[in-house]
Amino acid sequence: MADTEQIAIVQLSVEDALAGLALSTEAHWNQNEADWRFFLTRGNVFGVRDKDCHLIASAALLPYSSGNAWISMVLVTTNWRRRGLATKLVDACLAVAAKQGLTAWLDATPAGATVYGPLGFKPTLQLRRLRFENTMPPKAKARPSLLPCGIEKFTERDRLTMGFDRGPLLREISGRSSARLLSNGDAAALVRDGRKARHLGPLFAESPEHALAMVNEVVWCETGPLLIDAVYEQVEFLKGLIGSGWTIERPFQRMRFGPTTAPATELPFAVAGPEYG
């Protein structure tokens, strides 16, 4: 095997979307080609290729507003793991963030958190990914209680929960042909396609009861499996999901590298996903 000290880190382009998708598919992640294309056109995506020019590792830095950025898509193909490639690629992302004066965030698996902590990342909130198989038959139409949500209103709710604006991201995702931006009273949520399951989030509401009601309405009018990345600190909401038949797949730890740029004034019930924050 090649010495990883001699392996070059390269910047990827949109032509690498399918190669990136192959990496996340191997890892059983839910990202699809549209997600990869967004990162490759809007972010800084770094990779490592083997001697045959096959993509064997990746990491992405997606800039947001107000001096913030998200690190994700940290992937290494099976035969090249435990050789320091992920750390080298995250270092490349952090170098860009430092040069641009950005605070970097990420959502880490438990194994990832043990790597990122020594690099200087500090833990913030916790997440739990849950899955609902949703074997109910197709419905003719959505219930009347579910209404379209305007993108400007949704973006403002997201800004309150993140502390910074993610308008370009939310406009792109909600504009995909299969995505739906929904409201139910004071609750609002984004539902979008993934490779393995539809993803529900971000989700905002004034109470756990309203958040659960929104989830139940979405389940009623969707078919096939659903994923949600619930905020662990929303205890009653998480209990309600489990009581409704959702099962926990894995935890995530949100972490920050650098100072807090702007405090969030509202806690979401679910987030956009570990790749987007």
| Helices 33-42 and 167-174, axial angle in degrees (round to 10) | 150
Residue 269 lies in a domain: no
- 273 in any annotated domain: no
Question: What element of type H or E holds 25?
Answer: helix 17-26
275 lies in some domain: no
**Mean pLDDT on 120-139:** 88
Statement to judge: residues 229 and 251 lie in one domain:
yes
137 and 73 within one domain: no
Co-location of 132 and 113 in the same domain:
no
Averaged pLDDT, 196-205: 98
DSSP code per residue over 114-157? HHHHHHT-EEEEEEEEEEE---PPP-SS--TT-EE--HHHHHHH
Q: Are residues 94 and 154 in the same domain?
A: no
- Please name which of 127, 78, 97 lies closest in space to residue 261, comparing C-alpha atoms: 97
User: Which of 8, 97, 32, 70 has its CA nearest to residue 276?
Assistant: 70
Range(s) of the domain holding residue 38 = 4-123
- Helix H or strand E encompassing 241: helix 235-243
Distances (CA, A) of 205 to 27, 73, 210, 220, 228: 32, 29, 6, 18, 15
CA 146, 150, 155, 157 torsion-angle sign: negative
148 and 104 in a single domain? The answer is no
Q: What DSSP state is assigned to residue 270?
A: B
pLDDT tier, 262 (very low <50, low <70, confident <90, very high otherwise): confident
Say how many domains are in the chain. Answer: 2
The amino acid sitting at 274 is P
The continuous run of DSSP H or E covering 94 comes out as: helix 85-100
- pLDDT higher than threshold 90 for residue 217: yes
For residue 167, the surrounding DSSP H or E stretch is helix 167-174
Predicted confidence (pLDDT) at residue 223 exceeds the cutoff of 90: no
Report how far residue 56's alpha carbon sits from residue 33's, in angstroms, rounded to the nearest whole number.
Answer: 17
Same domain, 42 and 21: yes
Q: Is the pLDDT of residue 264 over 90?
A: no
Q: Name the residue among 137, 224, 239, 150 with its Cα closest to residue 188.
A: 150
Q: For the chain, give percent helix, strand, coil, nearest 5.
A: 35, 30, 35
pLDDT value, residue 7: 79
Residue 56 belongs to a domain with what CATH number? 3.40.630.30
d(CA 52, CA 133): 40
Residue 3 has pLDDT above 80, yes or no: no
Co-location of 133 and 52 in the same domain: no
- pLDDT tens-digit map of 137-183: 655 555 657 899 999 999 999 999 999 999 999 999 999 999 999 99
Q: Which residues of 29-60 are buried (b: 16+ CB within 10 A; e: fewer)?
A: bbbbebbbbbbbeebbbbbbbeeeeebbbbbb
Are 111 and 49 members of one domain? yes
Tokens describing residue 237 = 């909401």
Predicted pLDDT of residue 139: 58
Cβ-based neighbours of 50, under 8 Å, separated by 6 or more = 2, 56, 80
CA distances from 82 to 28, 89, 111, 112 (A): 18, 13, 12, 12
Distance of CA 17 to the CA centre of its chain: 17
Task: Say if residue 114 is in the same domain as residue 149.
Answer: no
